Amino acid sequence: MKLDPTQLKDWQIAEAAESSMKPLSSLADDLGLVGDELIPMGRRLAKVDYAKVLTRLEGRPRGHYVDVTAITPTPLGEGKTTTTIGLVQGLGKIGKKSIGAIRQPSGGPTFNIKGSAAGGGLAQVVPLAEFSLGLTGDIDAITNAHNLMMVALTARMQHERNYDDARLARSGLRRLDIDPEQVEVRWVMDFCAQALRDIRIGRGGKMDGYEMDSGFAITVSSEIMAILAVCKDLRDLRARIGRMVVARSRDGGEVTAADLEVDGAMTAWLVQAINPTLMQTIEGQPVFVHAGPFANIAIGQNSIIADRLATALGEYVVTESGFGADIGFEKFWNLKCRFSGLKPSAVVIVATTRALKMHGGGPEVKPGVALDEAYTKENLELLEAGCANLIAHIETVKKSGVRPVVCINSFHTDTPAEIALLRRVSEQHGALCALSEHWLRGGEGAVELAEAVVQACEEGNDFRFLYDLDMPLTQRIDTITREVYGGAGVTYTDEAKAKIAAFEADPRTSELGTCMVKTHLSLSHDPELKGRPTGWELPIRDVLVYRGAGFIVPVAGAIKLMPGTGSDPAYRRIDVDVDTGRVQGLF
């Protein structure tokens, strides 16, 4: 069936493609799975028993490992997932055994402005409805595990207030003396619910909980999601859950999930979630889906388990990192690769003329508002001015020792002169460059990109980290700010200074990576500063500790861990055909 993405919506293309999906048994055969390594989850989805596969294939040479990142995007996104899926399909077209490894979409953006994260046009992962609406339950499991921890915390605070030490001892408890002003975590739900950012809980009598200020964050920002992304197996997951810092005692000591004796029950929620979900592109290549998005407020990577699984089974593995290279790739480079031991063979930077014209001074780009003609007609002056942003991301990737491949994610309004300009700038700054029309033509449209990626993989690289873990925390933050974001320095609130002093006095800090929280809409902390801003300083207002995940988390600017729902959310257009049960309107 010939599908035309200029005439059909993404959900219509996905619905048509789903009629010719490969059976799960065929996908398993393509991957080389044997026995009960495939765990069916209904008729069209399955998980893969990573432990059995990795044990069987221990010592097998690993496939090439390719990361997809991007320039600083517009609020519309610049097509990283679409490019990731298109590249998997393009590699298939040139005869390579390719596997995708992507993140599960959050219900927040799916029902809000950005939509799902299945790709688009003729470069999608299917089945779309299952992918977008909970998949095999991993995010639900994380929500339940996290909120069980909050139940344990608040119940313990109530009982310690109401009972003396003797009564606690009869229940087998010791007094943790939790400070209600130093609770480190909030409740979670997987929607953009700004009304729940700040709430007061425990109102009523003394048996109705502990009254205090609280609130909600989005589930994918939970430390448990980060733990799922970086753990190596179930034993490691269990140990990391126990180390999660939930609050502090009145004397400043850490209160962990293990102290609350809830870590085992939390892990029980995650026994199935630790196995990656197997899906497929609309052209039939396998794709592993595991862990979640939001690299601006979380690690924003699919899991190390999925990547290890894919590189053991495939010749080329394509993964993606959230948002631009300043955020997603920096965390892939200095956190994920450090924890996994895997090193990228190539890094793709997705660029669009639309975003670069915005960075060159073009009109504001808003979801739901028609693009100004500056973005749909040739404008070499705007485009060239905006290339400063592309150059910044090229230089960031090169600092990792990897030669980047710039993917020009083509729009039908791009002109030959604009494409030539992007090629020239990319190549002048040391990158390979390829035009890709995967949205319009699927794998056939990504052949040039696939060939450039193969060339980069065959050239090899000298991959290296930006900082050593023995570098003091303030120096790491300064290094990331200057070398990746292009800032002139860092400022700290008094609260952040006090926390950093305590962290730097703790020898355990040298074991932790640095996971920055910053806007994705600018290289700086300020989403209004486009292009490649200079002369600014990064304001660190708070510093969190994710001891289970293994991160120190500096928080820059006014970014929030619970996004808000916009005035024209996607849920207004999502519905169900009540005759067939098919979901319509997802994008």
Tell me which residues are annotated as active site.
Answer: 80, 82, 103, 114, 295, 323, 411, 439
Residue pointed to by tokens 């009540």: 578
Residue 123 CA neighbour count, 13 Å, CB half: 30
Tell me the C-alpha distance between 540 and 473, whole Å.
12
- Please answer whether residues 156 and 260 qualify as being in contact, where contact means their C-beta atoms are separated by less than 8 angstroms: yes
User: Using CA of residue 396, residue 401, residue 402, residue 404, what is the dihedral sign?
Assistant: positive
- Please answer whether residues 88 and 99 qualify as being in contact, where contact means their C-beta atoms are separated by less than 8 angstroms: yes
Tell me the chain's radius of gyration from C-alpha atoms: 24
The tokens describing 286, both together, are 């396998």
Tell me the C-alpha distance between 482 and 120, whole Å.
35
Q: Which of 148, 122, 154 is nearest to 267 (CA)?
A: 148
Helix (H) or strand (E) run with residue 364 in it: none
User: Where on the phi/psi map is residue 96: left (φ > 0), alpha (ψ -120 to 50), or beta?
Assistant: beta
The tokens describing 355, both together, are 């975003």
Residue 183's alpha-carbon distances to 153, 154, 206, 254, 497, in angstroms, are 9, 10, 19, 10, 19
DSSP-assigned states of every residue in 305-340: HHHHHHHHH-SEEEEEBSSSIIIIIHHIIIIIHHHH
The tokens describing 108, both together, are 């927040």
Tell me the C-alpha distance between 132 and 455, whole Å.
34
Beta-sheet pairing, 64-70 with 286-289: unpaired
Could you tell me how many residues make up the chain? 587
- Please answer whether residues 456 and 504 qualify as being in contact, where contact means their C-beta atoms are separated by less than 8 angstroms: no
- Please answer whether residues 66 and 344 qualify as being in contact, where contact means their C-beta atoms are separated by less than 8 angstroms: yes
Burial of 332 (0-12, 13-18, 19+ CB in 10 A): buried
Within 8 A by CB and 6+ apart from 580, the residues are none
